[in-house]
Structure 1
Amino acid sequence: MPRARADHIRPKSTRLHPSDARAYWMASKIPSDQFLLYCFDSGSEDLDTEVARLHERSGRIEVLRRRITESACGLDYPRWTEAGPRSDAISVQRNTSIWSECLDAIAASFASQVDPRVSVWHLHLYPNIADAPGGTAHVAVLQLSHAAADGTLAARTARDLFGTHPLPPASARADPPGVFEPASTIVAAATVPLRLARMVRGGIRARRDALSLGRGTDSGEIPPPAHSRALTTLDVAPTGRTSVRTIVLPKADLQSGGTTVTTFVLTALSVALQRLLEDPADLAAEVTVARDARADARNNFGNVGVGLFPAEPDIRARSRLVSADLAARRTRANHPLSQAARAAQDDVEAHVPAFLAEWGVAQFDPTAVPPTVTGNTVVSSVSRGAADLTFGGGSVRFTAGFPALSPAMSLTHGVHGIGDTVTIGITSNSAAVPDPDLYEALLRGALDDVRTALA
């Protein structure tokens, strides 16, 4: 699992990077808020005192001090502006007392996405959950707009919120609401021709680099891209009830045979999905891969398709195939020719005028059914660092995440570690997985089978 970045992004400009602006615009079509769960041992500190501490720390965290203000003229990208403290940013759910109710409440909160024009975050607190994994615990779920952070930056933000290390002084003031000055409209309008010219020049370079990438692939220097997969019953819109489940394990239980945690979980998923779908011919997972940070961008990741090889009956051999395919995808993504092609494409997108970029997002039809998919499910794997976070005087026990569903995917998986514990978070919708408890049981059994086969 890639580790969370150790630094905050501090933009030189307040304008949203185009990738973050697209995340903001696309959220109106596909809900994409992140939900970071942290489970803490029950401590002795008063809950109200702890909430006050979190409010104070949030005012010192750059990501949580921002909101989005849209351009008044519609010609420029939205901007990050200072957000003042909000007393309603933290809510305490005192009516939830058992783990199943807590999971149901988290799943229900997916329907209430934050409005980043007001606040990019909300913290849901579930105190004294009697039968949480490991015993009575406090559960905190940080809800965060994807425009504000990718998974690694979100993990760093949560670390600042629940940590005890000193933070920079709080901002002295909040920017007042309102529109940009007339001069901003004039400047934005004047830059449109320049942006178009740079976009064309960047497009020429992007095409040249794409041709070089193609030649490198044809020569065998670079692994080929993953092929698309056929739709399964998982690849449907989430029109039913959404559920979340968690499987909490020692990290050592997911490293049998010297495999990485990600490879181990992917292999187990292949076994569980094979049983759920009754021997599918081919399957793949869409795996999130961290990329080098781009200036001012808060989202720096990509998705690659990794084969799950359900036709291979031997689990050890299947694990080797999964590992080799994941390595090939990473080799291709990190090859200098791939990086040059991606940088050229990023440069093109960075110079697309805002009104064209927003118009392009508006054309996306979330009801359209794709003929094929990159992966039949999602696996997002992130290490959230050392187990040194606290809440109410209690130490962190485990952490989990629940990747969002999409119009063509109703089952996703988050693999999140903290300290020596890893949690597999499962998000499913009844349109694809009518019985989430059955699927959890299938995955638990598959994890045991992989551990036995690799031992």
Structure 2
Amino acid sequence: MPRDRPDSNRPESMHLHPADARAYWMASKIPSDQFLLYCFDTGPDDLDAEVVRLLERSARIDVLRRHVTDAPLGLDYPRWTSANPRTDAVIVHRTPRTWPDCLDAISSSFEHQVDPRESVWHLHLYPNITDSPGEPGSTVVAVLQLSHAAADGALASKTARDLFGTHRLAPVPERTSRSTGTELASEVRAAAVLPLRVALMVRGGLRVRRDALALGRATDSGSIPPPARSRALTALDVAPTGRTSVRTIVLAKSDLHAEGTTVTAFALTAISIALQAFLDTPADLAAEVTLARRTRGPARNNFGNVGVGLFPAEPDIRTRMLLISNDLAARRVRASHPLAEAARASQDEVEVHVPAFLAEWGVAQFDPTAIPPTVTGNTVVSSVTRGAADLMLCGGPVRFTAGFPALSPAMSLTHGVHGIGNTVTIGITSNSAAVPDPDRYEALLRDALDQVRTALT
């Protein structure tokens, strides 16, 4: 679905959308930085000169040339303010590494989240990796670390495409400075309109109730699929208190394709088989799958998570894939139904009128140590297509891309399914609290992918 995105025509200072502000505040409780991996064949260009080029391009990319400025008195939402790119935003790790060493270094980076008040991004470069998946030859691995407040998965992928692409970027508009007095005046205005905000919030709340009732009636009548049911906790649904690891399975896109299905459904089916083996035949499982949603004004985060059944009790792989595909389709139908869109629009109307200090207070009440009674999904599966394989680094073409969805207090295993050109990579993020042997789980998933491929051919 085409989606309007932040661009260089934005004002030099603007408030974070409440959804982005919530991601900014919540990051202090649950680390949520995104790590976008791109592996490039080594080209003829000098790495130091390439770093200069990347910094020059970053200064023309809206997401990368802004940082967060907190409101002086805390009465208004934080602002996106323009900033020159930090020269230390690009970090070159020159120590020679094997591919497993590189993955270990990436997982170690999870412990060092960006501070969006200073910079929303870092770029880690690992040159001279000689045993990367794919064809023989030296590669350069680039990992774009990006605050989730600054972008969701789709916008993060677009940002990486602008950074590593060769297309011309629009010039940066002249900066208009704002004084602290102007920021203070904005907070004073926010306090002055507080009664109006509350009135609009109440009106929106009434609309939320009306739309929720309409959605419920449509669900009861069968004209819209029901919401996904919650699942019981498993050994995976624990806090990531141990060592975090990442693994990758790089495949040709054709290896994950079959007539009548999608790459996402294929991957979900394989994951269901791998989890079934790992958890020793669980009775019921679901995956929390990320779906893109309609853009909400200037919001940078426009997605939602839905629960999709994995049907481990179904022994026939073809039938299981059909059940998973149908459940995923039902979740998409419900999410895109006009009544569901209206209900979300009403909720958004309430959200944008919530006073900033109240929204921040609400985030502060979240207890990351609380154990939920049930979960939407026992693992996460985020699937994003990152376009054509026309990106370059140091004059070398991109070989593959990967992503590693963040862990959470009730989930210590996640999966990213990311494609570029003719390759698809399944990225696995796990913590030893739930997955003490990440190599064993990777082997189970590789075997499961083979099982699905064999069943379909």
TM-score by length of 2: 0.97
Q: Structure 1 residue 95: deviation in Å?
A: 1.2
Q: Counterpart of 1:249 in 2: which secondary structure?
A: strand
Which sections of structure 1, spanning at least 5 residues, go unmatched? none
Q: 94-103 or 297-306: which moved more?
A: 94-103
Find the aligned partners of 1:452 and 1:174 in 2 and give their Cα distance: 60
Q: Please show how residues 325-364 of structure 1 align to structure 2 within 5 Å.
A: 325-364=327-366
Aligned-residue offset at 1:179: 7.2
The corresponding residue for 1:216 is 218
**For residues 10 and 289 of structure 2, what CA distance do their matches in structure 1 show?**
28
**Residues 98 and 131 in structure 1, CA contact (< 8 A), matched pair in contact too:** yes
SS of the counterpart of 1:245? strand
Q: Map of 1:115-194 to 2, 5 A cutoff?
A: 115-134=115-134, 135=136, 136-173=138-175, 180-194=182-196
Distance of 2:447 and 2:184 partners within structure 1: 63
2:6, 2:298 within 8 Å by CA — same for their partners in 1?
Answer: no
Distance 1:277 1:179, change over 3 A: farther
CA distance in 1, matches of 2:364, 2:20: 15
Equivalent position of 2:263 in the other structure:
261
**Greater mean alpha carbon deviation, residues 203-212 or residues 187-196:** 187-196
Deviates more, 1:80-89 or 1:266-275: 80-89
Task: Name the residue aligned to 1:304.
Answer: 306
* 413-422 vs 251-260, which moves further: 251-260
CA contact (8 A) 1:38 1:396 kept: yes
Separation in structure 2 between the aligned mates of residue 285 and residue 268 of structure 1, nearest angstrom: 12
> Map of 1:275-286 to 2, 5 A cutoff?
275-286=277-288
Mapped to 2, the partners of 1:418 and 1:177 lie a distance apart of 44
8 A Cα contact 2:3 2:295, kept in partner: no
Distance 2:180 2:111 in 1: 28
| Structure 1 equivalent of residue 47 of structure 2 | 47
Q: 3-state SS of the aligned residue for 2:88?
A: coil
Give the C-alpha shift of residue 185 in structure 1.
Answer: 2.6
Paired with 2:5 and 2:351, the residues of 1 have a C-alpha distance of 25
Return the alpha-carbon distance in structure 1 between the equivalents of residues 453 and 19 of structure 2: 39
SS of the residue aligned with 2:414? Answer: strand
Could you say which residue in structure 1 is the equivalent of 2:68?
A: 68
C-alpha distance in 1, partners of 2:230/2:182?
45
Q: Could you tell me how far apart the structure 1 residues matched to 2:62 and 2:71 are? A: 21
Distance in 2 separating the partners of 1:191 and 1:416: 44
Cα 1:108–1:176 change in 2 (3 A) is farther
Q: Is the 8 A contact 2:403 2:417 kept in 1?
A: yes
**Among candidates 230, 236, 239, match of residue 237 of structure 1:** 239
Deviation per CA, 1:233-276, whole angstroms, max 9, x where unpaired?
00000000000000000111101243100000000000000000
Counterpart contact for 1:32–1:145, Cα < 8 Å: yes
Counterpart CA distance in 2 for 1:256 and 1:171 is 47
Alignment of 1:381-400 (within 5 A): 381-400=383-402
Structure-2 change in CA distance of 1:177 and 1:104 (3 Å): farther
C-alpha distance in 1 between matches for 2:96 and 2:15: 40
Secondary structure of the 2:15 match is coil
- Whole-angstrom CA distance in 2 between matches of 1:388 and 1:181: 42
- 1:376 maps to what in 2? 378
In 2 relative to 1, CA 206–392 (structure 1 residues): closer, same or farther, beyond 3 Å? same
CA contact (8 A) 1:83 1:174 kept: no
Aligned partner of 1:430 in structure 2 is 432
Distance in 1 separating the partners of 2:276 and 2:393: 40
Report matched runs for 1:88-107 at 5 Å.
88-107=88-107
Which whole-Å deviations, capped at 9, do the CAs of 1:361-404 have from their partners, x for residues lacking one? 00000000000000000000000000000000000000000000
1:63 is paired with a residue whose SS is coil
What residue in structure 1 maps to residue 14 of structure 2?
A: 14
For residues 321 and 443 of structure 2, what CA distance do their matches in structure 1 show?
21
Q: Name the SS for the 2:91 alignment partner.
A: strand
How far 1:176 moved relative to its partner? 7.7
TM-score normalised per structure 1: 0.97
Instruction: Specify the code of the residue in structure 1 equivalent to 2:293.
Output: R
State the Cα deviation string for residues 197-222 of structure 1 (Å, max 9, x = none): 10000000010000000000000001
What is the distance in 2 between the residues matched to 1:317 and 1:190? 60
Displacement of 1:454? 1.2
Structure 2 residue identity aligned to 1:386: A
Checking the alignment, whether the CA contact within 8 Å between 1:8 and 1:156 is kept in structure 2 is no
**Shift of residue 315, structure 1, vs aligned partner:** 0.5
Asked whether the equivalents of residues 84 and 174 of structure 1 are also in contact (C-alpha less than 8 Å), the reply is no
Residue equivalent to 2:58 = 58
Matched residues in 2 for 1:365 and 1:322: separation? 33
Shift of 1:181: 3.9
In the other structure, the counterpart of 2:204 is 202
> 1:33 corresponds to which residue?
33
1:115 counterpart SS class = coil
Distance 2:381 2:195 in 1: 41
Q: Secondary structure at the match of 2:193?
A: helix
Against the structure 1 CA distance between its residues 148 and 159, is the aligned structure 2 distance closer, same or farther, given a 3 Å change threshold? same
Distance in 1, Cα, partners of 2:181 & 2:248: 44
Q: What CA distance in whole angstroms lies between the structure 2 residues aligned with 1:18 and 1:234? A: 31
2:416–2:428 CA contact under 8 A, matched in 1: yes
Shift, 1:178, TM fit: 5.6
Deviation of the 1:177 alpha carbon: 8.9
Indicate if the aligned counterparts of 1:284 and 1:308 stay in contact, CA closer than 8 A: yes
Amino acid at match of 1:353: P
Cα gap change, 1:106 to 1:192, in 2 (>3 Å): same
C-alpha distance in structure 1 between counterparts of 2:370 and 2:181, whole Å? 36
Decide whether aligned partners of structure 1 residues 94 and 443 sit closer, same or farther in structure 2, where only a CA change above 3 A counts: same
- The corresponding residue for 2:84 is 84
Q: Secondary structure at the match of 2:112?
A: coil
- Using a 3 Å threshold, how does the CA distance of structure 1 residues 96 and 199 change in structure 2: closer, same or farther? farther
Distance 2:149 2:234 in 1: 30
Q: Which runs of 5+ in 2 are unaligned?
A: none
1:7 positional shift: 4.6
Q: How many residues align?
A: 453
Q: For residue 173 of structure 1, report the CA deviation from its aligned partner.
A: 4.6
